[in-house]
Copies of this chain bind each other. A is one copy, B any other.
Amino acid sequence: MRLLADHELSDAARAVFDDIRATRKSDFVNNFWRALAHDPVQLRQVWEEAKTVMAPGALDPMIKELLYIAASVTNGCQYCIASHGAAARAKGMSEAHYMELMAVVGLANKTNRLAVGLQVPVDDAFKPLE
């Protein structure tokens, strides 16, 4: 899908871009939203979800960015690692945080395969109570 420039946006897409700019206090709108703008309904749904899910809650916004990156690295999504890496740094992620994230994600991906390959049954102690 071609990326849409500001002057090519439908009114519905422009309204979402306005909210992205206001929420982030920045004029920059990254390519992901410019591709999704071909479908203004989906653009709004994804933006509203992202805004809600990544906001402060029981977990800190920087931690949420790290969790997002953990999933994205596991899926191999280069765009997502680049864009949320920038977001995480803006929210305080240091190089030490990132290298520890890599170590945990690397360990998880290794031991996930060992658990599956060795066909390890779930311990009774880890099963949910009825």
Contact = CB atoms under 8 A, between A and B. Distances in A.
B2 A128 contact: yes
Interface of A: 1-3, 28, 30-32, 35-36, 38-39, 41-42, 45-46, 49-50, 52-54, 57-59, 63-64, 66-83, 85-86, 94-123, 125-129
Contacts of A72: 108, 112
Contacts of A31: 120-123
A127 B39 contact: no
A53 B83 contact: no
B116 A81 contact: yes
Contacts of A78: 116, 119, 122
Given A41-B52, A77-B116, A82-B119, 8 more contacts: A1-B98, A1-B118, A36-B114, A67-B105, A68-B104, A75-B109, A79-B121, A102-B117
